[in-house]
Chains A and B, each alone.
Chain A
Amino acid sequence: MGNDFVAKTLAETAKAIEYSVFANQYAEKKGFLQRIDPRVKLLTTLALLIVIGLTNRLSVLLALYGGALVLAAFSRVSLGFFIKRVWVFIPLFTGIVALPAVFNIVTPGKPLFTVISFMSPHTFGPFHIPQHITITIQGVSGVSILVMRVAASVSMAVLLVLTTQWIRLLKALYVLKTPEVVIMILAMTYRYIHLFLRTVEGMFLAKKSREISDLKMKEEHGWIASRLGVLVGKSYRLSNEVHLAMTSRGWTGNPTLMDDFTINRIDGLWIVITLAVVILWIVFR
């Protein structure tokens, strides 16, 4: 059990490091979205997210999700990776949470098919169980819309993150008037997550290299707690040192950042496509 736990943590840490490198590789590819100015990409993604959030038509959501897949393909993002990344967690969890809504207990409506039939309806306090528990058309429709809305939103957000270097995304936020101190905090957090991931990996490897027999669960938890303490201590010391390093190079509490963005023809094309989607939605909703 102990070794499993250590091995799993090691594997997850390595995976997190690998993912960050892998994700950055997509941002460096010469695909369609990678060529778009990050400011344009950020604003158009926001516009598409608003359309996705406000639409109640499954066909529109499916079309937008399909559009996201096409964009992923044109941006040289592996479709297998992209679909897995989008579907494995968020929509699946949303689906589980929303699943009761397909039944007539939660969403009354026209039955699609009957799941179970009782001799008579039952009432338990405030809860009423009908004689026939059915899956309703309205329920399925509602859950499908919810799941597809989450899937399409997550797809757009994932595409934005996968095809834009983190620092360029931050700079786009900066240009769009996000407070500079927020940008600095985000940038530094991203920078030091990697350092701490490597520290965590080192801690687990050091433990594994000296482990002869499995530890009991309680001992394992104690070890984890002590390492968390060590990590907090390290993080505190590092933050002091980093602050000194910043002060040494002129930091007085007011960050100054630099942007080097230029708008090209491809940005114009992407703005036109996004505007067309928004206008079509407004006209046909």
Chain B
Amino acid sequence: MENNCVFELRDVSFDYMENVHAIESIDLKIHKGETIAILGANGSGKSTLLKLLDGLYAPNKGEFQAFGSIINETTLRDKKMAREFHRKVGLVFQDPDVQLFLPTVWDEVAFAPLQMGLPKQKVTEVVSEALTQLELYHLKDRAPYHLSEGEKKKVSIASVLTLDPEVWLMDEPTASLDPRTQGWVIDFILELSEKGKTTVIATHDLEIPHVATNVCYVLGQDHKILVKGSTHDILNREDILLQANLIHQHRHVHANVAHTHKHWHY
């Protein structure tokens, strides 16, 4: 494994309950400081791939290396190893209701540093800092069910920010958000990139790779990697995007002329 390689997957497959294929024969390399998009339609295995990169699942087949070490069932069962791994890698789940499981915003954001064993004084500091940075401090005593979707997404991000992980994994970060919050999330990803963080974004929204990533992997509907390449090249491959169900075609009326062409909306 190269020195600056953060993740390396060799012929990795993962099945749910033995016969439900989630990802198949994935070869992937992610280097330090890269911002990468994993593109794919619903059900292509993007979320599973992120959970695998976050050490939540171990591959059924193939080899997964992170930070130069092999990650498998045995290493993930080691509590010290698991804690160290999760200090370095943070995952923002697609659904904030999954991620926000505690009764108040403050407790939610404090959860990770507390589990990591930080002293309580330090926890207070990092939580206040994260809430202030994301302009959430005034919501600290609120319950997550009293927040808007945009606020929930920000709290989800804050709950990972307190760990200041080297690697950020984001699952459909702009899904179900209003345009202003979508813009905020994209700006946040760009900031991570500027700070030299490694960021992996799973999405079917082509706006994100367009503005925030340099490299894309496209997952096909057969759960295998269809193609890997520069964002510019991938976004210009209409055949691949159509095959991966990332763009579509239907009738349009432009002025008085109706015609059909391949496109996506953003």
A-B contact pairs, 28 of them (CB 8 A): A24-B143, A165-B141, A167-B103, A167-B107, A187-B107, A188-B101, A190-B103, A191-B101, A191-B102, A191-B103, A191-B143, A195-B145, A241-B93, A242-B101, A245-B98, A246-B101, A246-B111, A247-B82, A248-B56, A249-B90, A249-B163, A250-B112, A250-B116, A250-B163, A251-B115, A252-B79, A256-B115, A258-B124
Interface range for A: 20 to 34
Contacts A167-B104, A194-B145, A252-B79 given; indicate if A245 touches B99 (C-beta within 8 A). Answer: yes
Interface centre among A165, A198, A258 (most CB of B within 10 A): A258
User: Knowing that A167-B102, A256-B115 are A-B contacts, what are 15 other residue pairs whose CB atoms are under 8 Å apart, sorted by A's residue number?
Assistant: A187-B107, A191-B144, A198-B145, A241-B98, A242-B98, A244-B51, A245-B98, A247-B56, A249-B112, A249-B159, A249-B163, A250-B111, A251-B115, A253-B79, A260-B124
CA distance A223 to B90 in the complex (A): 41
| A195 CA / B147 CA spacing, docked (Å) | 12
> Of all chain A residues, which has the CB nearest B98?
A241
Which residues, 219 to 264 on A, are CB-close (under 8 Å) to B? 238, 241-242, 244-253, 255-258, 260
Whole-angstrom CA separation of A252 from B241 in the bound complex: 40
User: How far, in angstroms, from A249 to B99 measured CA to CA in the complex?
Assistant: 10
| Minimal Cβ-Cβ distance residue in B for A249 | B112
- In the bound assembly, the distance between CA atoms of A191 and B152 in angstroms comes to 14
Q: A244-B51, A244-B56, A256-B117 are in contact. Are A250 and B98 (CB under 8 A)?
A: no
What's the nearest-Cβ distance from chain A to residue B189, in Å? 18
- Does A204 touch B at the CB level, under 8 Å? no
> Looking at B79, B86, B143, which has the most chain A CB atoms within 10 Å of its CB?
B143
In the assembled complex, how far is the CB of residue A191 from the closest CB belonging to chain B, in whole angstroms?
Answer: 5
Q: How far is the CB of A38 from chain B (nearest CB, A)?
A: 14
Instruction: Judge if A166 is at the interface, Cβ distance under 8 Å.
Output: yes
CB distance from A40 to the nearest CB of B (A): 20
Contact assessment for B160 and A249 in the assembled complex, using a CB-CB cutoff below 8 Å? yes
Most chain A beta carbons < 10 A, residue from B101, B104, B110: B101
User: In this assembly, does B1 line the interface, its C-beta being within 8 Å of a C-beta of chain A?
Assistant: no
Chain B residues lying within 8 Å of A24, measured Cβ to Cβ, are 143
Most B CB within 10 A of own CB, among A190, A195, A241, A245: A245
Interface residues on B, range: 35 or more
C-alpha spacing A156/B160, complex, angstroms: 40
Question: Which listed residue, A188, A252, A256, touches B102 by the CB 8 Å rule?
Answer: A188
Interface residues of B (CB under 8 A from A): 51, 54, 56, 79, 82-83, 86-87, 90-91, 93, 95, 97-104, 107, 110-112, 114-117, 120, 123-124, 141, 143-146, 159-160, 163
Nearest-CB distance from A69 to chain B (Å)?
29
Q: Which of B86, B103, B104, B146 is within 8 Å of A249, CB to CB?
A: B86
CB distance from A19 to the nearest CB of B (A): 14
A157 to B120, CA, bound (A): 31
Q: Report B91 CB to chain A, min CB distance, Å.
A: 5
With the chains together, A167 CA to B142 CA distance in Å? 11
Residue of A nearest to B141 (CB): A165
Contact of B95 among A190, A241, A249, A255 (CB under 8 A): A241
Distance of A258 Cα from B120 Cα, bound (Å):
7
Interface residues of A in 1-33 (CB under 8 A from B): 21, 24
Q: How far is the CB of A47 from chain B (nearest CB, A)?
A: 27
Chain A 186-211 interface mask (CB, 8 Å, partner B; 1/0):
01101110110010000000000000
CB distance from A268 to the nearest CB of B (A): 25
Interface set, chain A 30-62, CB cutoff 8 A to B: none
The residue on A at minimum CB distance from B117 is A256
A250: chain B residues at CB < 8 Å are 83, 86-87, 111-112, 115-116, 163
